[in-house]
């Protein structure tokens, strides 16, 4: 097997591991700015709820400040549903994709957000990819942490204008990608069944090739870094998490954790574990099937303390620092 398919280290994301990698805690005298500012870019006239799910999860994960950028057709609805957020209305195409005019609207925010999540509820993959590529230089300059979910991951299939033909796209700075097996198959052209059976080599090879932290979601979720490290989380097989909106919630949790100061790989491991444990708690209380994605976020604050245990008190304290923390920093 090619060396790109081998991990330099493999870590089990269990309770002991999480407590040994305690999340940074805000200073008791800090304000919302110190807990991090997250920008969620997404939504559409057909799926305005996805951005609401993701944004709620980011706040439940501990981010202190929230901005949502969504289509003008649903911006007022989103603002009413999320009174905690500043909501920016973006111009839309008839396809429900966002116009590149959005770049000018979002440019002033780049220096003021710690993490941006792009993708939940977006519909037009080519238009979304064009927007991602238009934003990347500005976000890279500001060293903003980037999480790409759902439709936004199509940036891998639609390189920017001028990209050499036949050359696979690669991010200049590492980003976080969150595909499930079906999305991974779409991005790579590999059969979905093969990815489900053996996600590790596909996660590792794409992480290195694309310069991305890959979170390949499933009953056993694997997280691979561009440096070849691999983390794995295997839950109890809670089928209730396989529900519309669940992935939006997970992406929001991860973005919220990054915004509040967690390293990207740490945010990914904690996010996956918190999401799974939230599903377990809901299954115990409500039943294995039938709980809703919107209910997952409600479990996160208590789980942050429960999973953190006594180690939470010894976690590094967040103090004011330049916006953004790179993968691997």
How many CA within 13 A on the CB side of residue 31?
1
Residue 31 has what pLDDT? 60
Whether residue 326 has pLDDT greater than 50:
no
Residue 28 has what pLDDT? 66
Chain segment 226-240, per-residue pLDDT in tens: 999 999 999 755 789
Chain segment 28-49, per-residue pLDDT in tens: 666 667 789 999 999 999 999 9
Whether residue 269 has pLDDT greater than 50:
yes
Average pLDDT for the chain: 90
Closest of 265, 264, 270, 261 to residue 323, by C-alpha: 261
Q: What is the arithmetic mean of pLDDT over 255-280?
A: 97
Query: Considering the entire predicted model, what is its pTM?
Result: 0.91
Q: Where are the domains of the chain?
A: 3-25+34-316
What's the fold here for domain 3-25+34-316?
Answer: 3.40.1190
Q: What is the arithmetic mean of pLDDT over 107-136?
A: 95
Percent of the chain at pLDDT exceeding 90: 81
Chain segment 130-159, per-residue pLDDT in tens: 999 999 999 999 999 999 999 999 999 999
């Amino acid at each position: 097997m090619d060396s790109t398919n081998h991990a330099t280290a493999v870590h089990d994301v269990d309770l002991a591991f999480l407590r040994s990698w305690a999340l940074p805690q805000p200073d008791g005298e800090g304000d919302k700015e110190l807990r991090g500012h997250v920008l969620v870019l997404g939504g559409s006239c057909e799926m305005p709820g996805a951005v609401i799910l993701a944004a709620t999860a980011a706040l439940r994960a501990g981010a202190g400040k929230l901005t949502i950028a969504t289509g003008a057709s649903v911006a007022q609805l989103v603002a009413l549903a999320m009174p905690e957020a500043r909501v920016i209305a973006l111009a839309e195409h008839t396809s429900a994709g966002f116009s590149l005019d959005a770049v000018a609207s979002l440019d002033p925010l780049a220096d003021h957000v710690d993490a941006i999540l792009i993708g939940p509820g977006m519909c037009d993959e080519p238009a979304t990819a064009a927007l991602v590529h238009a934003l990347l230089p500005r976000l890279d300059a500001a060293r903003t942490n980037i999480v790409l979910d759902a439709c936004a991951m199509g940036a891998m299939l639609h390189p920017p204008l001028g990209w050499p033909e036949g050359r696979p796209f690669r991010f200049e700075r590492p980003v976080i990608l969150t595909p499930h097996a079906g999305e991974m198959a779409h991005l790579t052209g590999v059969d979905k069944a093969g990815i489900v059976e053996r996600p590790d080599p596909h996660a590792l090879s794409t992480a290195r090739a694309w310069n991305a932290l890959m979170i390949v979601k499933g009953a056993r979720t694997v997280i691979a870094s561009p440096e070849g490290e691999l983390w794995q989380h295997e839950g109890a097989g809670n089928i209730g998490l396989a529900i519309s909106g669940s992935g939006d919630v997970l992406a929001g949790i991860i973005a919220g954790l990054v915004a509040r100061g967690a390293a990207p790989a740490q945010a990914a491991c904690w996010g996956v574990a918190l999401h799974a444990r939230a599903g377990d708690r809901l299954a115990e209380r409500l039943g294995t099937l039938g709980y809703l994605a919107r209910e997952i976020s409600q479990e996160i604050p208590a789980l942050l303390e429960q999973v953190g245990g006594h180690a939470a008190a010894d976690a590094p304290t967040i103090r004011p620092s330049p916006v953004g923390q790179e993968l691997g920093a």
